[in-house]
Amino acid sequence: QVQLTESGGGLVQPGGSLRVSCAFSGRSLGGYAVAWFRQAPGSQREFVAGYSRVGGHTYYGDSVKGRFTISKDNGKNTVYLQMNSLKPEDTAVYFCAAGNRVITSSIGNKNAYDNWGQGTQVTVSS
């Protein structure tokens, strides 16, 4: 139905910034709630940021609030995650996810999404 492809990961020093992207194909971005999750080695997948299907509401995990911003460009069919003031504990594989049946109360629940990208590695280290 929809294919998601992340890009833009890399190596960043602590305090630095990085923007990762999630390109949609097969379907238009409109009509989907989208989110970013991350997973470090040996850890569970963690909610990072979400963007509601209707209304343009954004949501953030406590660990990234005030540092990360989720946005989208409907014309380019792409979702972005701008990451500022990066910390070593932000190191993880970052995944984008999408669902067309996600309600607001479930936007941070990884089990609410049925479409996932392959992930892009973000490493924060000096």
pLDDT digits (tens, 9 = 90+) for 78-105: 999 999 999 999 999 999 999 998 888 8
> How many CB atoms sit inside 10 A of residue 91's CB?
17
pLDDT of the residue at 30: 85
Burial of residue 13 (CB within 10 Å: 0-12, 13-18, 19+) is exposed
User: In the chain, pLDDT over 70 holds for what percent of residues?
Assistant: 100
Of the candidates 83, 84, 112, the residue with the CA atom closest to the CA atom of residue 97: 112
pLDDT of the residue at 1: 72
